[in-house]
Structure 1
Amino acid sequence: MAPTPLSIDVPSSYETINLTHIKLSHHPAGAPTATPVIVVTLNRPEKYNAFTPQMADSLEHAFRMIHLDPRVKVAVLTGAGKMFCAGSDLDVGFGDGKGRAVDFRDIGGRVTIAMHRCQKPTIVALQGSAVGVGMTMTLPAAVRICHEKSKYGFVFTRRGLTIESCASYFLPRLLGFSRAMYLISTGAVFPPSPQHFGDLFAEVLPEAAQVLPRALELAQDMAVNVSPLASTMSRALMWEGPDSPEAAHLLESRVFHHMTGQPDYKEGVASFLQKRPPIFNTNVHDNGPSDYPWWDEVHIDRELRASKEPSKL
């Protein structure tokens, strides 16, 4: 049986939405309606932004709205206060292991799936330290920027737990199995050096106050100069690509051929030759290849669908 469609309201303004334990804002802040860059802030600074089921619900909802909103091009995820995320709130816990395992969905995994399926890239601005789910939730992001004096780690095995948030899929693909095994097996925290994290962090900045402004600068550049359709297709080719170079060549060729017939290709070339910013207006729903998605999607819940009219929130 096909999943039951789930309707999501796309708001006129993200800044009028009240979601538990997170804050949504425009860039620039105070803009009356949605901007190309939306900032998602973990907002429990008094608890070091410790992760809760309510925060997971809010993040999942936020990324689903951003996914469906054609006005939004890039999401920036950051934290309020000195720490990005202290991991799960241990005062809340994870349950008692009772009930059917087949019915359980880890809350961090719900968030990473929402971020991964969001057709808008996410830049994570880790302005402070992060451990546990505070790290694993960032793995589907396109870019991670952090603070060189903060510490980061996957501490699950030191709490008697296994990794979650789809980290068994993302982490070895991002770091390689050797580094991923070391980080998971030790459960230790480290400064963001390439020795331990390889290229997981695209940029490491000397001051915490530099992290979010740099993420916003990069997000604004991407929102103006990058085709959303080309970006979505390129990321899908990497995450959902075949296992052999020959099969990758066939798939890439098919998608590339499709892209050469789209308005963004013509606009990208024209804007470059005319030395002006591009105006990209395509999206996956209207301009994607007929076989997109070309992989077999596994549904963890009901199908997502936008409501017909923008919300007045």
Structure 2
Amino acid sequence: MPTSSCSIEIPVSYETLNLPHVKISHHPGGTSTATPVMILTLNRPEKYNAFTSEMANSLTEAYNIFNVDSRVKVVVLTGAGRMFCAGSDLDVGFGDGQGSAVEFRDMSVVPGGRVALAMHRCHKPTIAALQGSAVGVGMTMTLPAAVRICHEKSKYGFVFTRRGLTIESCASYFLPRLVGYSRAMHLITTGAVYPPSRKYFGDLFTEVLPDSGQVLIRALEMAEDMAKNVSPLASSMSRALMWRGPGSPEEAHLLESRIFHHMIGQKDYKEGVNAFLEKRSPRFEVDPGEKSAPSYPWWPSTDIALGPIVLKPSKL
């Protein structure tokens, strides 16, 4: 990850951005400005969306912008063509192993960890719509997502050990927490690919659909519902409580009480209650980047880059 400050300029339209190997679309289509639901597509269908440094940089940049853009509420991540992602582009490779580990971490040809962290740190939740098969980094990049939907006839796997490699993209943190250590050990040590119905995946895929064409449609339905009915602030803080929670019930009680106290003082709480009582859809307007709890982040900070400078357009 870069070690110097970078600027983030929020575009009026994401469809004007030139991000190599990635396509960003507004949803619904035909709009000239950003929408609450954004579609982020891995866009190398001729290479089965094989992962490259350009794709990693594009995904990281997109998530960094989504994070600070109050217009965006939910991100749907999918792939173009038959496969979601065939893993790293082995025609490019990973270099020769020379140089320092820090340089490799920050500037390697396949920096999947930067993508996983950008997705994880983004206040806006991601729904991963795996419309086709995915292996390697094609799987690990989706682990920080809030929801994963897939195709029942496609195959998925963590094939690193079959390529003489270890897992990456923070998978050693996310995967055991999502599926349990026993299943994670099986998936990693076999390095095999399986249909999503196999028990080794546990509940990693929350929905498995029979038609690949249904996957993105279902993900967008879910994203629309979330964007319309879920407070971005409450969602962001709740996910942080689960991923960054303390180690005991007593500590969890103390932390949750502080965050809950903060939330009942926010406009979203009043709006959510009034909308329920008045039997109407809520109009949540609180930006989680601006109204996070005073104690956020409540965990010890690990610095891997300097914070960005946000440059907002004069008129959105």
- Is residue 53 from structure 1 mapped to residue 53 from structure 2 by the alignment? yes
Q: Cα offset for 1:18?
A: 1.4
Q: Is the 8 A contact 1:11 1:311 kept in 2?
A: no
Q: What TM-score, normalized by structure 2, do the two folds share? A: 0.96
The residue type equivalent to 1:22 in the other structure is V
RMSD, aligned CA = 1.3
Q: Cα offset for 1:287?
A: 1.8
Q: Cα offset for 1:311?
A: 9.0
Q: Name the CA distance, whole Å, in 2 between partners of 1:197 and 1:104.
A: 30
Q: 1:308 to 1:265 in 2, by over 3 A?
A: same
Q: Name the CA distance, whole Å, in 1 between partners of 2:245 and 2:6.
A: 28
Q: Name the CA distance, whole Å, in 1 between partners of 2:196 and 2:30.
A: 33
Corresponding residue number in structure 2 for 1:83: 83
Q: Is the 8 A contact 2:123 2:289 kept in 1?
A: no
Q: Name the CA distance, whole Å, in 1 between partners of 2:169 and 2:315.
A: 30
The residue type equivalent to 2:180 in the other structure is G
Q: Cα offset for 1:51?
A: 0.2
Of the three residues 256, 263, 287, the one matched with 1:259 is 263
- Is residue 284 from structure 1 mapped to residue 293 from structure 2 by the alignment? no
The residue type equivalent to 1:61 in the other structure is E
Of the three residues 113, 132, 135, the one matched with 1:128 is 132
- Is residue 174 from structure 1 mapped to residue 172 from structure 2 by the alignment? no
Q: Name the CA distance, whole Å, in 1 between partners of 2:314 and 2:173.
A: 35
Q: How many residues align?
A: 310
Q: Name the CA distance, whole Å, in 2 between partners of 1:310 and 1:147.
A: 43
Corresponding residue number in structure 2 for 1:206: 210
Corresponding residue number in structure 2 for 1:71: 71
Q: Is the 8 A contact 1:147 1:211 kept in 2?
A: yes
Corresponding residue number in structure 2 for 1:144: 148
Q: Name the CA distance, whole Å, in 1 between partners of 2:292 and 2:165.
A: 40
Corresponding residue number in structure 1 for 2:199: 195
Q: How does 1:93-132 map to 2 (within 5 A)?
A: 93-105=93-105, 107-132=111-136
Identity of aligned residues (%): 70
The residue type equivalent to 1:57 in the other structure is N
Q: Cα offset for 1:304?
A: 2.2
Q: Is the 8 A contact 1:10 1:311 kept in 2?
A: no
Q: Name the CA distance, whole Å, in 2 between partners of 1:19 and 1:310.
A: 23
Q: What TM-score, normalized by structure 1, do the two folds share? A: 0.97
* SS across alignment from 2:289: helix
Q: Is the 8 A contact 2:10 2:312 kept in 1?
A: no
Q: Is the 8 A contact 2:26 2:37 kept in 1?
A: yes
